[in-house]
Amino acid sequence: MMIIIAVIVVILLTVGIVWAIDKFIPSKLKAPISILLWIGIFALGYLTFNSVYNEIKFHDIKQDRYAAVIKNLVDIRDSELAFKEINGKFTGDYTELINFIETGKFAIIERRDTTVADVEKTKAYGGIKYTKEETIIDTLDFVSVRDSLFKKSMRYKTMMNVPFSKEGTTFALKSGIIGEEGKELPVFEAVVMKKDILFDQPKDLIKKEENAFSVEEINGDAIRIGSMEEVKVNGNWPKVYDPIKN
């Protein structure tokens, strides 16, 4: 759409200039002025088209890279939640997280309600028999964390690497505890700066992207999941970027 608008603007500008030359410029000056103006029009048209095209290309590149980044962040989040389920806290260490995925196991449990004798109440009321309801939890089996989260995929070994970035760039991972004493809650955060994802793109477009604000885009200068300031495990992107579940 932007390219079409740019073409229309150039066409209208060309028509206007041709009309002005024919109307106001003396005959002997029309030829050289027309040549100069046509050169200027073609240059303007090229610059306009190139500017619009570069933004469109940047937008497509950005969306593809963000989608790959978010897929890794979701893998990190799912791994952290599994780690917390078994260990009661999150971790800020990728080595520990990967080792957990490879060796950790979820317990498969069965809950069942049953009626048992309430010995204390029976004794308190002179031998009148009382009963009470109890929930019994049976451990049926154990399942590998790796099989549960990743099946046969080995992508958990590289989920810390930021796609399309410079070699060696990883998501910054933190974990900790927030809340007042006695009400502490575990938190984690994984984050990467947009400029690291788009490092090879035009600097002016990266700056514009960092300052962009829209309900359909990822606002701010970073993509993150979780938070070190509040209890949350979602990311800062709109639903359009959510990975498709297979």
Helix (H, G, I), strand (E, B) or coil at 177: strand
Buried b (16+ CB within 10 A) or exposed e, 49-87: eeebeeeeebeebbeebbbebbbbbbbbbbbbebbbeee
Q: Using CA of residue 54, residue 57, residue 63, residue 66, what is the dihedral sign?
A: negative
pLDDT in tens, 111-132: 667 777 777 777 777 667 767 7
pLDDT category at 225 given cuts 50, 70, 90 is: very high
Pair 137, 145: CB distance under 8 Å = no
pLDDT category at 172 given cuts 50, 70, 90 is: very high
Angle between helices 94-103 and 27-87 (to 10 degrees): 60
pLDDT in tens, 79-107: 999 999 999 999 999 999 999 999 998 76
- The secondary structure of residue 126, as a DSSP letter, is T
pTM beyond 0.85: the answer is no
Domain boundaries, the chain: 2-52, 64-94+159-241
Find, among 245, 227, 225, the residue nearest to 235 by Cα: 225
Pair 173, 160: CB distance under 8 Å = yes
